[in-house]
Amino acid sequence: MISRQEVEHVAHLARLHLSADELVRITEQLTTILAYADTLAAVDTDKVAPTTHAAASTTAFRDDIIRASLPLETALANAPARDEQNFIVPRVI
């Protein structure tokens, strides 16, 4: 069971607003979905290691070599707001 307050808190963590209607509807839907997810509690997993990579067992390493990165103009091409070499964002503090 997830409360509306918890959904509001999670929405804040995820940087989302929910309207009053959305909050009611999504709380109901998440309650149903999480009740279904709770069926996992029936399985004894005390001695089971969690999986992180399904097919490989080794971590990929590479040599620490400097390579060319995106040109400045390309990196800024999709910016919602920019000047010559920076992304512009609203006031932070």
Partner 1 sequence: MARGQLSAVELTRSCLDRIDTFDSRLHSFITVDEEGAMAAAAAADTKRDLGDEGKLLGIPLSIKDLICTEAMATTCGSKMLANFIAPYDAAVVENIRAAGGIMVGKTTMDEFAMGSSSETCCFGAPANPYNTDFVPGGSSGGSAVSVAAAEALGSLGSDTGGSIRQPAALCGVVGMKPTYGRVSRYGLVAFGSSLDQIGPITRDVTDCALMLAVVAGYDRRDSTSVNRPVEDYPAALRKGMDTLRIGVPREFFQEGIDLEVEGVVRGGIDMLSDAGATVVEVTLPHIKYGVAAYYLIASAEASSNLARYDGVAYGFRAPADELLAMYKDTRTQGFGEEVKRRILIGTYALSSGYYDAYYKKASQIRTLIIEDFKAAFCDCDVLVSPVSPTPAWRIGAKTDDPLAMYLSDIFTLSTNLAGLPGISVPGGFSGDGLPIGIQLQAPHFHESVLLRAAYNLELQTELANHLPSL
Tokens of 65: 């070599």
CB of 66 to partner 1, least distance (A): 15
DSSP state of 86: -
With beta carbons less than 8 A apart as the criterion, state whether 8 and 18 touch.
yes
Binding to partner 1, residues 26-85 (CB under 8 A): 26, 29-30, 32-34, 36-37, 39-41, 43, 45, 48-56, 60, 62, 70, 74-75, 77-81
Long-range contact set of residues 12-19: C-beta below 8 Å, sequence gap at least 24: none
With beta carbons less than 8 A apart as the criterion, state whether 31 and 1 touch.
yes
Q: Is 16 in the site for partner 1 (CB under 8 A)?
A: yes
Residues forming contacts to partner 1 in the complex (CB under 8 A) are 2, 6-7, 10-11, 13-17, 22, 26, 29-30, 32-34, 36-37, 39-41, 43, 45, 48-56, 60, 62, 70, 74-75, 77-81, 87, 89-92
